[in-house]
Chains A and B, each alone.
Chain A
Amino acid sequence: AQSVTQLGSHVSVSEGALVLLRCNYSSSVPPYLFWYVQYPNQGLQLLLKYTSAATLVKGINGFEAEFKKSETSFHLTKPSAHMSDAAEYFCAVSFQGAQKLVFGQGTRLTINP
């Protein structure tokens, strides 16, 4: 069965530091991969997606992610954290014909001043 695992339910970084949120997937077929962000009391907003084109994907708000097939990973990074990046981040996977997204358990990102 296809699944997604996010390592670390809570990540805390200082403002200006590198943000690294980890996501690994399990799949027997090529996946489509997504990162979403959820701010408090809001819905989910797409940050970026991988759909078998370039392996390094750039998204909104300065985030990017790299698809590594050999490591079955799709980690999210941002070179310099802003206070406004504090939120819950979800990695998700889907497949051709699957008609649904399967989400990881989420990682809460805290930014320290």
Chain B
Amino acid sequence: DTAVSQTPKYLVTQMGNDKSIKCEQNLGHDTMYWYKQDSKKFLKIMFSYNNKELIINETVPNRFSPKSPDKAHLNLHINSLELGDSAVYFCASSQLTGGTEAFFGQGTRLTVV
């Protein structure tokens, strides 16, 4: 039973399109995240949500809009996709308290052509 699952695993789309990535966790965690991994494997946080409320937005363009319908789900919608958005996007979850590790999904490889 997958702890953090995200769909789709692969996403190829044209510039200018709008796309969504879905994420669900069944760990009962309070906090969920979106991370972006670039072509050099560098991981950077984009957003953090706690109990459906946005708590971190790391200067991500407005074209990226996360939505959390409940604390088990955090979706990422991207408008007007650009070539530079090509990356692997990871969803993760954890308990809010410090010192607890984050559990990651398998990633969504987004390719914008």
Contact = CB atoms under 8 A, between A and B. Distances in A.
Interface of A: 32, 34, 36, 38, 41-46, 49, 51-52, 88, 90, 94-103, 105-106, 108
How many interface residues does chain B have, given as a range? 20 to 34
A46 B101 contact: yes
A43 B106 contact: yes
B48 A43 contact: no
Contacts, number: 59
Given A46-B101, A99-B48, 10 more contacts: A44-B43, A49-B99, A88-B41, A96-B99, A98-B98, A99-B31, A99-B50, A99-B56, A100-B48, A103-B42
24 contacts: A32-B98, A34-B101, A38-B41, A42-B106, A43-B4, A43-B90, A44-B43, A44-B92, A44-B104, A46-B101, A49-B99, A49-B101, A94-B99, A97-B98, A99-B31, A99-B48, A99-B55, A100-B33, A102-B45, A103-B44, A105-B42, A106-B41, A106-B42, A108-B41
Interface in B66-113: 90, 92, 96-99, 101-107, 109
